[in-house]
Structure formats: structure tokens, C-alpha cells
Amino acid sequence: MADLKLGNYLRLRLLHINELPSHAGLESSIENPEADQGPIDRPSLHVFITSILEEAYHFTKANVSQFTSHGSKKSPPSTSPVELLTQSYSRELEHVSWQDPKLPRKWSGHGPANAEHWFARRSHHTNSSEEGTATLSEFDYGTRRDHPEREKDYTPDLYDCAEILNYNDQIHEEFGFEGKLSSTSGEFTDVQMSVQEMCHQLPFGLYNRCFSVLVITAKGPLQDELLVVQLPVDISSFTAAFYSNKRNLKEGKDKLQKKQVILGMYVSVERVRILSDSNIEWLMATASDAKGWLPMWMQRLGVPGAVVKDVGLLMEWIKKPRQQGLIKD
């Protein structure tokens, strides 16, 4: 594993809300923000975003290439087979620099890093606006732009995505209207970042799951590339949260929102790019822990089918905005 490099952010390990860059909504909405630890030393927005994007980009280029392939499966109506890959990290996590000088995990004291079981899928698609496939612009519309809302649109069991915090105005103020960031990997543009609560409905007898995630999306760093990163974040002390602090139980708009949920966590990265043969590669890798009484071995049984199914779900859903003329090249 010569190119293996595990960073300290793309991990199945909760970010503390005090590890996020400054935001006006944070300082006034955290319960006892300075209790016990004094003034909060937050990372700069530029260093935070570029470091995470670089880490995620390297992961899709080098680390996933070392995953074990388990063959390909169909995901109708997609015309492309979906390759399933897996990798587990255990001892490797002992060498992760949690106190990396660029972005130290000051709030990493949530116990030792547990083993991470990663699943990935890779599919190649004809760059065409037709049944069972999609153009790069259509992938951009369905996977990067307004990512949480789009994921909710095409994922049947995702019943709510609540935006808790949005950094886009700050990004435009600091880096220009194009949201342009330079890094050692290249230039990222149209960068967006927000904190979201993503809630999934589970079968009868199981509590629904809610995942609070930091979502960072961008174009680049190379031409015709898209990147989506989601990191687990602990916002239970944030008064503006909805599910994470149980505010939904009293203020939910309907029975589904008012239901008790279990807080799980996941980390994921997606990369969409044009290949040299003009086809599109869609790569996604994720590690998760749904918490509750479900043991990890049982959770792992259901993940492969779910990640493969998502390809077909997007291809089915993309037909509607395509027919409505909502997607522009």
C-alpha cells in the first residue's frame, strides 16, 4: 500500500461543532460555547475546506484503487454495471495524525478510533442524455448541485434533509462569486459547504435514523470533475439543530418528523469525471455506523445492495428534470 495515506477528516469519527470554521450562527447558538475550554480557536475557512477536499480527492485517486473488487452487479434502469469494492482499516488508523499541524482534531477525544469498513461502487456511463445513462451536466445536477435536496429527491427512504448551517455566503465573500480555491491538487470552483441532518425511514420495528453531516461540494480540481464529501459532525449541543437535540419531538410538522430517531453516522466521498474514452466514471465510497442495537456485521450485510441500488435510482429520477428542461449544459 505504497500510496496509502489516511487523513484525519475523512474518517468515521465525529467532528465536534467547535472544530468547524467561524460562522455567525455558531457563536450565538451553542450551549455554553466557552464552558471549560475557554475561547474557541476555530480553523480558517480556506485551510479547512481545501484540506478536506484534497484529502477526499487523494482518497478517490489512490486509496480506492487498493480496495478489493467483488465483481459487478446490475442496477436497472442504468445500462451500466456497477462494480462493488470493499476495504477495512484497523491498524492503519493507528498511524493517522490526529494532531496534524494543518488541521488538528482538537476534539478527537471520543475514544480510540475503531475499525472502519468501507464500501465503494464504481460505474462507467455513456455521456449521453438518454435512457439508462446521463451527461456530465445531468450528473452535476443530480449529485453535486444542492446535493442534500437532490439525494432526497431520488432516495425513497430519505424523508427529510434539514439544513442547519450554510457557509456559502462566507465562501463567496472570501473567495469570490465563483467560490474558487487553489490547492496542491489543483483549483476547486463553485465550492459549497453546509451542515445537514439527513433522516432515513427504516422498516417497521426499527427507529428511523438521522445522520448529521458536513457537506462540501465542488467542481475540480481537474477539468470535468465533480467532488462531494460528507463528514459526520456532532451538533447535539447546537440549539439550531432539529433532530440531533430532539427539537423535532415537539416542533415537527408531521408524525414522521415528530418520531424519535437514533443518531447514526457516516462518511462518504463521491467523484464524477470524464474519462479519456469520453465516458463518465461515477465513484462513491462510504463507511457508516447506524448505531442502535443493530450489530455491525448485520449492518454490513445491507450496505452493498443499497450503494449499488443508488445508481439505478439516480438514472430513473434524472429523466424527470431532463424532460422538464431543468438541466443546462
DSSP string, 144-195: ITTHHHHHHHH-TTEEEEEEEEE-HHHHHHHHTTTT-EEETTEEEEEEEEEE
Indicate if the pLDDT at residue 31 is higher than 70. Answer: no
Distances (CA, A) of 82 to 132, 236, 285: 13, 36, 13
For residue 177, give the amino acid letter. Answer: F
For residue 301, give the amino acid letter. Answer: L
Indicate if the pLDDT at residue 307 is higher than 70. Answer: yes
Compute the average pLDDT of residues 88-116. Answer: 77
Indicate if the pLDDT at residue 5 is higher than 90. Answer: no
Q: What is the pLDDT of residue 204?
A: 77
Q: Helix/strand/coil (H, E, C) string of 187-219? A: EEEEEEEEEEEEEECCCCCCCEEEEEEEEEEEE
In angstroms, the CA 104 to CA 77 distance is: 44
pTM beyond cutoff 0.85: yes
Cell output for 59? 482518497
Q: What is the pLDDT of residue 302?
A: 86
| 64-323, CATH topology level | Alpha-D-Glucose-1,6-Bisphosphate; Chain A, domain 4 (3.30.530)
Indicate if the pLDDT at residue 32 is higher than 60. Answer: no
Average pLDDT, the chain: 90
Q: Where are the domains of the chain?
A: 64-323
Q: What is the pLDDT of residue 34?
A: 47
Query: Hey, how many other C-beta atoms are within 10 angstroms of the C-beta on 319?
Result: 16
Q: What is the pLDDT of residue 64?
A: 94
In angstroms, the CA 285 to CA 63 distance is: 10
Under the banding of pLDDT at 50, 70 and 90, the label for residue 33 is very low
Compute the average pLDDT of residues 183-211. Answer: 93
Helix (H) or strand (E) holding 232: strand 225-234
CB 264 within 8 A of CB 294: no
Q: What is the pLDDT of residue 95?
A: 86
CB 296 within 8 A of CB 303: no
Share of the chain above pLDDT 90, in %: 74
